[in-house]
Structures are given as structure tokens and as C-alpha cells.
Amino acid sequence: RNDNWCILFNNGESWRELRRFALSNLRDFGMGKKAAEEKIVEECQHLIKVFEKHEGKAFDTAQSVNYAASNIICSIVYGSRFEYDDPEFKAMVNRASDNIRLAGCPSIQVQCCFYLTEKRFHKNFVSNREQMTKLIKHLQETLNAQQCRGFVDSFLACKQSLEESGNMNTHYNTKHLLSSVGNLFAAGTDTTGTTLRWGLLLMAKYPHIQDQVQEELSRVIGSRQVQVEDRKNLPYTDAVIHEIQRFTSILPVSLPHVTSQDVTFQGYFISKGTTVFPLLASVLWDESEWESPRSFNPAHFLDENGKFLKRDAFIPFSAGRRVCLGESLARMELFLFFTSLLQRFCFTPPPGVKEDELDLTPAVGFTLNPSPHQLCAVSRG
């Protein structure tokens, strides 16, 4: 593995420093509740418009949902969103999705450490780096360190101020900026986009569950915009979103880590320095933890009075020191996108396809995506 993959794959000092920097800046530019909420609500409106254009006819949700998820990261990282028909933006998001799929190919998994040799993967990677470099160059040329527009500006301002004080050998260099930006996109686009698409597919497959979500939304919210604050008053909807994440387990195998000391785990000795791959799905589908692990059952997250029930075995974002850096942002995105779409549309299979014919077999990739499919987004009037 090479250092270009930090923050995701790096350990030690640069990871510690860059993770701290990313967290505090994402808080300032998006993960701080209000700022993120505004950005996501704005993006919901753009996504709804795209869905409306299909006028209830069947379409593939993949691209528009991925553009919406990517735009949240864009506005946090670059300080502005892109139009869905912007050819450079479309190419960038599509190349990233392509690579998520390629990273799951058996040939790549076997080669693992040599996967940069895979031609298409490498070409996508290089093109996206060039695109990021261009965007960062523009931000650098128009930088006002007193008025940072997003994560990149903050990083550049920090780099500039360290350099001005004669500190040239820091983690704030161009290589780390590119890898941090690249990783935020890789980690933050496909994950939320895929989860949301699974959610819509599951609603089309289980209309009685969709009905209950919509009944709760109508009763508690009506037609006004849902806000993060509303989550506590929407226990059923919250349970459904948690169950979408548990049931689909989009990252069944988490990122690899290296043991920092000798450890005995469940009777097995693992020496310091061993690479381990945590299997999140083994917890999310654990028969001793869940009543019906392989069924889509929102009751997993509800108590006998219909109140939301927190479960310790719910770890789609992993846990511990390396827990997903974007967890709170992702949870906000899933909640606001899902509820806004369900307020506006009823999701159904294409004409001639029965609910039970909707296929839940995942397409293999670095994340588990739904297989290519189409849905109808029927306006609720």
C-alpha cells in the first residue's frame, strides 16, 4: 500500500493529524448540524425535480442519487455544488462509481496490493486526480484565507500560514490535500448513494412498510420540509432507515487495519503487525443478536410500545478509533433524503413487474450495490 491512500489507509502521525483536521473542518463546513442540514435540504429539492421529470415512468435511480450524494461532499469540500448535467461533474462521479464496482472484481481482490495495475481502475483514478487538481488550482488562485469557502480553502490557508512561519515540513502538503479530498469523495458518495437506493428499492418491494412510513410522515410532519430535529418524533421511519442499513450491510468487510499489539481474540492469537479485515456483516447479520437477521424487519429497532430501540450490534459505520469519520453527516443525509423523497413520491416496481419479482441480489463491488434496476416514482399529489 502506498501513502497516497491516507487518510483511509494510513496509520500513525499523518493519519492522526489529518483525521483531526478533516473532522474539525467538516464540522465547520458541513457536519455542524445546521450547515449540513441546509445543504442537504437544498439538494433534496434538486433530486425531487429530477425524479418529477420522469412523470411516474420507470427509471434507474443510480446516477441522480449518486450526483445528489456527491454534491453534499462537493459543497463541503469545494464550497459549491454542481449541476447534474455538468459533463465534468457527471464524468467524475461516474468514474468513481465505476471504480467502486471494479474494486470488488475477484481479479482485483486477489491481486489486492497490485490493483493499481488494473487499467480501467488506474485510468479512472488518474482522470479524477487531474479533475481534482484543476478544481483545487482554481480555489488556490481565488483563495481568501479570512473567508474559507470549504475544506480545501481551510487546508490551503493552514498550509500557507505554516509556510509563512517557516514550517515547510508538515502534513499540510499538496499530496495529502489530494488524497484527503479523494478519500472524502470515495468514502462519502457511493456509501450514502447506495444506501439510499437500497432504501427506495426496499420500499417498492415492501409497500406495506412504505405505507407505514408515509402514514407517520403525514401524521407528524404533514407537507412541510422534514428537519433533523423531527427524527425523535418519527420512530417508525427511523427504525426503517436503520433496518435498511443493517439488512443491506453495504460494507460487509470493513477497511483493513493492522494490530498495534499482540492480541488473543476469541481464542485465536494474533501477533502485533497482522493485517485484519473486520467483518461488519458478521455482526449486522448475527443470529444471536437479531430476531430475524436475514429478513427486512424494521421491528428490530422498535420496542413493544413502538418507540425507537437502539441496538449495540448496529455497526454499519464500524466502531472504535477508526469509526467512519462521516457517520453523523451520512445519518443526516439518509434521514433527510429518504423522508423528503417519501413525502413526495410513492415508489413502485415498473409496470408488469410484481413486488416479489424485485431482485435484492447485490451486485458485487467494494460496496454492495443493488443490481441494476428501474423504479417508478409516482407523485403523491
Least distance from C-beta 55 to ligand HEM, angstroms?
A: 30
Of the candidate residues 91, 143, 220, 255, the single one contacting ligand HEM (CB under 6 A)? 255
96 vs 93: CA distance, rounded Å: 5
Is 346 marked within a binding site? no
Binding status of residue 71 toward ligand HEM by CB under 6 A: no
Cell matching residue 46:
434538486
Among candidates 215, 282, 287, which has minimal Cα distance to 249?
Answer: 282
43 vs 39: CA distance, rounded Å: 6
Least distance from C-beta 3 to ligand HEM, angstroms?
A: 14
Q: Using CB under 6 A, which residues numbered 343 to 372 contact ligand HEM?
A: none
Whether the link from the prior residue into 221 is cis, omega within 30° of 0, is no
Of the candidate residues 270, 322, 353, 360, the single one contacting ligand HEM (CB under 6 A)? 322
Least distance from C-beta 256 to ligand HEM, angstroms?
A: 8
Q: For residue 9, which amino acid is it?
A: F
> Cβ atoms within 10 A of the Cβ of 197, count?
23
Residue nearest to ligand HEM (CB): 326
Judged by CB under 6 A, the stretch of 95-103, 122-130, 219-227, 251-259 that binds ligand HEM is 251-259
Binding status of residue 193 toward ligand HEM by CB under 6 A: no
Least distance from C-beta 32 to ligand HEM, angstroms?
A: 13
Least distance from C-beta 142 to ligand HEM, angstroms?
A: 24
Judged by CB under 6 A, the number of residues near ligand HEM is 25
Least distance from C-beta 373 to ligand HEM, angstroms?
A: 19
The smaller minimum CB distance to ligand HEM, of residues 226 and 332, is found at 332
Angle at 316 between CA 312 and CA 317, to 5 degrees: 100
Q: Among all chains, which residue has been given the C-alpha cell 404533514?
A: 222
The smaller minimum CB distance to ligand HEM, of residues 6 and 342, is found at 6
Of the candidate residues 64, 66, 191, 340, the single one contacting ligand HEM (CB under 6 A)? 191
Instruction: Classify burial at 253, counting beta carbons within 10 Å of its beta carbon; exposed 0-12, middle 13-18, buried 19 or more.
Output: middle
Question: Where is 79: in which H helix or E strand?
Answer: none
Of the candidate residues 158, 234, 239, 324, the single one contacting ligand HEM (CB under 6 A)? 324
Q: Among all chains, which residue has been given the C-alpha cell 499482540?
A: 262
Instruction: Classify burial at 260, counting beta carbons within 10 Å of its beta carbon; exposed 0-12, middle 13-18, buried 19 or more.
Output: exposed
**Residues 270-277: contacts with CB under 8 Å, at least 24 apart:** 277/253
CB 187 within 8 A of CB 323: no
Judged by CB under 6 A, the stretch of 33-41, 128-136, 211-219, 314-322 that binds ligand HEM is 314-322
Cell matching residue 251:
460494507
- Residues in contact with ligand HEM by CB under 6 A are 7-8, 19, 26, 183-184, 187-188, 191-192, 195, 250-251, 254-255, 316-318, 322-326, 329-330
Residues of the binding site for heme: 324
